[in-house]
Structure 1
Amino acid sequence: MRKFVIICGTALAVAGCASSGGLDANSTAVEVRGELPTPDQAAQAIDMSEYRIGPTDKIRVSVFGAEELDREGLVDAGGQFQMPLIGAVAAGGTTPSDLSAKIADMLRGRYIKDPQVSVNVIEARAHSITVDGAVTQPGIYPVVGKMTLQQAIATARGASDLADTDRVVVFRTIDGTKMAAMFDLDAIREGRVADPQVYGNDIVVVGESGTRRFLKDTQSLTAPVLSRFIPVF
């Protein structure tokens, strides 16, 4: 009797069911946790050097030697901040030092030879998170009020078709210690585990399935082979 098998490329065999986006318990870069502690928002507010400016934040922009260009006001819902001469500046998702450099570049040469710009956050009304990995629209998004992990991924237009949704890693820094924990998005969606809250400055990374990536990258070349049974004697 003939037996039938499906042709499978060596690369696929190597990939197996493996997926990227896992979390190595032996990592020395971050402290791996089963769950992440809640950050102390008051302590975070002390050091604003790495704070990501978000919509409705109140900021003050000062241009040394050109006080007529100084401005204090709110970042609008689209993350824009209005400045004299140069108009709207994309402030959302930037740190104060990033925004200072951006405004200086826009003023340099055309308006001021060597502008010295400083940006200070007066009222931090919103925080931002970074959503990366296998999502439809990776980026930096504002956190206004409470936001859960599932909502954060939905903000990035959801997981992509390459996502390994049982391997979602959240990175968080508390008191200078970098921590990380991995969550199963499928279990959260099904109500089997709680949907954890995310906080400003968290980084969410959705893992990518190695097998799905391989199949997508090689589909045009291997689809006719993978879908055909051949006899094995």
Structure 2
Amino acid sequence: MRLVSMTIRLASAPYSRFSDRLVLRALRVLGPALCLFAFAAISLTVRAQSPTAAPDSARTLLAPSPPSVAPQVTTNAVTAPSGYVLSANDQVAVEVFGEEDLRTNGRLNAEGNLSLPLLGSVHLAGLNLTQATARVSELYARDYLVNPKVNVMLVGYAKRRFTMLGQVNRPGSFEMPEGSPMGIDLLEAIAMAGGYTRIAAPERITVRRHSPKGDEILKVDGKRLARGTGGANSSFKVQAGDTITVGESIF
């Protein structure tokens, strides 16, 4: 009460020497209280001026987002044997780096051609994958792209067939077994056709084969092949599209 009364008197008193004495007296009485009040006021001021830490959610919102990564597109390519040659009805995928509009996945037609964006029909049958890649790269670089990065991949094998004629028990067209993209042994092909007839001449077998340079006629001695003494023909492989004719014995 004394503190309140003195404060009121100090505030309402007119300025005079009496006022000076009153102020000095008030300071002696109110000194400890004023110190505590000042300390509290300073503490509140410092806290009010200190920056408020941002909540975790705010910091999260302000954090830079990671750079976006383009999705990876995977083509279901199959592992082709070394030197595998493309043929009609093989399914291939063609990719050009950085040119999504030029991606192609399709089958070679009966003539061995594949339709490609900008290029139209391109003949790929008779080429291995490395040669096909070089061919497509050359065509795109000729008129459309600068140093194109091309990849040609085998996606699926065609239904591969060969034809047996002449002196076999079941002449006709046969489908090659699965898992034989490089062809099958000639003796296996003859067995699929029921083997030789009684009048067959195994030493006189003719194979007609299609190639980019035109048809080839190959002569094979089946007797030497069976004995393992066929030399260059000791591991003769029948390829898709081959026509094999077994000759007839001459009495």
Larger RCO, structures 1/2 (Cα 8 Å, 6+ apart): 1
> After TM superposition, is the score higher than 0.5?
no
Class of the TM-score when normalised by the shorter of the 2 chains: 0.3 to 0.5
By percentage of residues, which structure has more helix? 2
Structure (1 or 2) with the greater strand fraction = 1
Which protein shows a greater Rg?
Answer: 2
